[in-house]
Amino acid sequence: MTLLGLKLRQTQQLNQRLQQSLRILQMSGIELEREVEDWLQDNPLLERPETDEFADAEFNHGTTMPRSNHLGGDDAEDAWLNIAKEEDFNQYLHAQVCEHPLSDKEAAYVHILIDFLDDQGYFTDSIQDVIDNTPLEWMLDEDELQNALDLLQTFDPPGVAAADLTESLMLQLMRLPASPARQAAAHLIQSSLHDLGKNRKQNIIRFRKLFPEIDSETIEAALDIIATLNPYPAYGFASSEPTAYIQPDVWVKEGKDGWKVIGNEAAWPKLQLNREYCELMKSAEDGAPEWKEKINEAKQRIDSLELRKSTVIRLAEYIVKNQEDFFIFGEIGLAPMLMKDAAAELGLAESTISRAANQKYLSCPRGLFALRYFFTQAVNSEGDKEGLSQGAIKAVLGQIIENEDSSKPHSDETLVRLLKQQGIDIARRTVAKYRESLDVPPAHKRKLTE
């Protein structure tokens, strides 16, 4: 009976330890930091190891929230007063409604649409999304909402409520006086926005080759106009919500032997046992049972942090090994990859892989990506038994659209045919879905109007 009780107790402890490890693995970096702070308050046997603050700051430069300046007295009061006076983007737009000659219904519809704009000032939802996400009793009309969207796009700042960057820049251009330079700028934006680089001289040479019918002076003037445009209409306004800072859990860097995963130490909370308290417990002949529980608890929590770190790094290494083409060629190189395959190779449960990928981020030369971004199912395509990932197909689709003649943009049916020529055989409705996910409007809205 004693042996049975011991086994039951051991099983219970193992289950509790496993549950805690899985819960910690599921957490985001911010959630974990809060959890660790609670642990430190609850268990005096735990402490943070001493670290080189300056080394951490240097390693973490550009990825974490900067340390705030310490303000006191009148300085602090003045700083908060300045923040309180800042007007956020939505407030600025709502205040303009009464400045425009709108009917009561038009004004109401514009107010609704303003609240659907994203943080950059874009309207990335569809009209149907607005209808689906507002109370049914409002009985919103699709045509009237579209009219309200057109009206909102006449508000300041120029480019507001556009579907994407291209439309925003075009809306800004249309407010400028007509000229050959403006017409050339519109042509560059519609057809070759992705070719714009930071080097002005290289841009001029590139566009002279692409558009030999436009003289050099007009190209230079067009580039000057584009440089004055604002890519983000909401830029410069206070945010209605605090900015969320995402810290990568791992770095992916290219070395002599290929791509390598490096853990971002600043993203992993570190704990250790307090030696002084532990020595006092050892010196005592009969330690109190509650203190023995505390030391076991402290060790389990330290172990759970280490397990979380090693699991995420192993998963990142699996991603890098199986998605090497992505790091070389970009999204077009993204291969189909399933969590169940990762689980099989790493010897873990699929649910564990899902937890390890949850709200974890990878930073590489191409940017910051959620680990879940790399898991995508294959889309069966002609001539490719293994299929292509949705991300790769979207990248090909995006390239085709970017290179189209802006005066005769491709319809979805034409896009189906052009994709098929590249061995990608998918239905028209799938093309339409992928196009919409890329924030690309239908052909009739992409057509260049002078």
Domain extent listing, the chain = 89-228, 250-374, 390-446
Place of tokens 């700083």: 79
SS3 category, 218: helix
pLDDT at residue 12, as a whole number: 46
Q: What are the two backbone dihedrals, phi and then psi, of residue 388, each rounded to the nearest 5 degrees?
A: -115, 155
Q: Which tokens sit at 227?
A: 């440089």
| Angle, CA of 33, 357 and 376, to the nearest 5° | 155
Q: How far is CA 339 from the centre of its chain?
A: 20
Q: How far is CA 40 from the centre of its chain?
A: 32
Per-residue pLDDT tens listing for the chain (450 residues)? 454 454 444 444 446 667 778 888 888 888 888 888 888 888 888 888 875 443 343 334 333 333 333 333 343 334 334 333 345 788 888 888 888 888 888 988 999 899 888 878 899 888 888 888 878 778 888 899 999 999 999 998 889 999 888 899 899 888 888 888 888 888 888 877 776 766 667 777 777 777 878 888 888 888 888 888 888 888 766 555 444 457 889 999 988 888 999 998 888 888 888 888 777 766 655 556 677 778 888 888 899 999 999 999 999 999 999 988 888 888 778 888 888 889 999 998 888 898 899 889 998 888 888 898 888 766 655 444 456 677 778 888 888 888 888 788 888 888 888 887 777 777 888 888 888 877 888 888 777 644
Gap between the Cα atoms of 19 and 321, Å rounded: 30
Evaluate whether 357 touches 371 at the Cβ level (below 8 Å).
yes
Gap between the Cα atoms of 429 and 389, Å rounded: 17
- β strands within 132-289, DSSP E: 250-255, 258-263, 272-273
pLDDT at residue 151, as a whole number: 93
Q: Which tokens sit at 116?
A: 């659907």
As a whole number of angstroms, the longest Cα–Cα distance in the chain is 95
pLDDT at residue 240, as a whole number: 53
pLDDT at residue 294, as a whole number: 80
Evaluate whether 424 touches 388 at the Cβ level (below 8 Å).
yes
Dihedral, CA of residue 112, residue 114, residue 120 and residue 125, to nearest 10: 30
pLDDT at residue 321, as a whole number: 92
- Strand (E) or helix (H) holding 369: strand 367-370
* Number of Cβ atoms within 10 Å of the Cβ of 350: 14
Q: Which tokens sit at 375?
A: 């898991």
Gap between the Cα atoms of 434 and 97, Å rounded: 34
pLDDT at residue 15, as a whole number: 60
Evaluate whether 446 touches 409 at the Cβ level (below 8 Å).
yes
| Encoded amino acid at 440, one letter | V
- Strand (E) or helix (H) holding 73: helix 73-85
Rounded alpha-carbon distances, angstroms, from residue 302 to 2, 261, 269: 30, 23, 10
Gap between the Cα atoms of 127 and 125, Å rounded: 7
SS3 category, 134: coil
Gap between the Cα atoms of 8 and 2, Å rounded: 10
Q: Which tokens sit at 46?
A: 């735990």
Which residues does 175 contact at the CB level (< 8 Å), separation at least 6? 158
Whether domain 390-446 has CATH 3.30.565.10: no
